[in-house]
A and B are shown apart, each in its own frame.
Chain A
Amino acid sequence: MKIFSFGALLFVLWILLSGKFSLLLLSLGGGSVVLTLIIAKRMNVIDHESYPVHLYAKFPAFFIYIMVEIIKSNFVMIKRILKLGKIDISPQLVNIPVSQKTDLGRVIYANSITLTPGTVSIELDPDWVTVHALTKEGADDLLEGSMARKIPDQGVEK
């Protein structure tokens, strides 16, 4: 079942990217979709991680949240960069506990940490992620864990 919806998604993507409806281009697109599906099926890569249908409902809210976070931390960053005189940074290396149960949730968390300016995830382990934070406030925000609670994390546990 998943393979059909994945095929439909690929075909829609083909149409949107080409923007043409001639028979030749459509059949070429259909051919490549089928080929892609056969390869994906043989490689066994269409699973809950590469194609997380069960998380789609949660993504829009998370997307908006992460956008707001990015914009907020960008302003902090700009202030630090443009401040005249001695640079006001206090780099920290902290271990943030990872509460997500699924591998996908952990990866989304680590990626979100890196995506917000001022914090970069350096090492991801099952129980914690090592984060290099530019300021003490950035590290404290992560330790407080408000971002961790927003991460879409559902499905097969490992």
Chain B
Amino acid sequence: MIIDILSGLLLACGGLLGVIGGIGIHRFPDFYSRLHAVGTTDTLCAILIILGLILQTGLTLDAFKLLLILFFLFFTSPVASHALANAAMHGGLKPWLSNAEIKK
């Protein structure tokens, strides 16, 4: 019972974060800042949802598989974000900046 409530809470928080990330995509002004908004979704949102699911499965092999998904997300999601940003930069898309030139 307590576990159900806790996992429900985690799942709800995760879902809420996903929605907030979506709102962020619409509110932010340019490609690069939108990428940051997605960042909230693919880190804490995924962590919370997977933790919630792990509480549902208990100490089984399924829990291990879920942890494995989290582990792989840790490596793949930043690489994907980096690849997107890098491709946009090389494609010549200028970010909307508040400081004019690159600081050393």
User: Which positions in A face B, CB cutoff 8 Å?
Assistant: 16-17, 19, 67, 70-71, 74, 77-78, 80-82, 87, 89-95, 110-112, 114-123, 130, 132, 134, 136
Instruction: Choose among A70, A81, A115, A123 the residue that contacts B20 (Cβ–Cβ < 8 A).
Output: A81
Cβ contact within 8 Å between A78 and B79: no
Given A81-B24, A120-B81, A122-B89: A91 in contact with B39 (beta carbons within 8 A): no
User: Which positions in B face A, CB cutoff 8 Å?
Assistant: 17, 20-21, 23-24, 27-30, 32-33, 35-37, 39-40, 43-44, 47, 61, 64-65, 68, 74-75, 77-79, 81-82, 85-86, 89, 95-99, 102-104
Please give 15 more A-B residue pairs, beta carbons under 8 A apart, in addition to A81-B24, A111-B82: A16-B61, A16-B64, A70-B44, A74-B17, A77-B36, A81-B23, A90-B98, A90-B99, A94-B102, A120-B32, A120-B36, A120-B85, A122-B89, A130-B102, A132-B35
Instruction: Choose among B82, B96, B104 the residue that contacts A120 (Cβ–Cβ < 8 A).
Output: B82
| A27–B67 CA distance with the chains assembled, in angstroms | 26
| A28–B36 CA distance with the chains assembled, in angstroms | 44
- Please give the distance in Å from A13's CB to the nearest CB on chain B: 8
Contacts of B28 in A (CB 8 A): 81, 87, 89
Q: Which residue of A lies closest to B32 (CB)?
A: A132
A-B contact count (CB 8 A): 113
Contacts of B30 in A (CB 8 A): 91
Contacts of A119 in B (CB 8 A): 36
Cβ contact within 8 Å between B82 and A117: no
Cβ contact within 8 Å between B95 and A74: no
Identify the interface centre among A19, A91, A95, A110: most chain B CB within 10 Å of its CB: A91
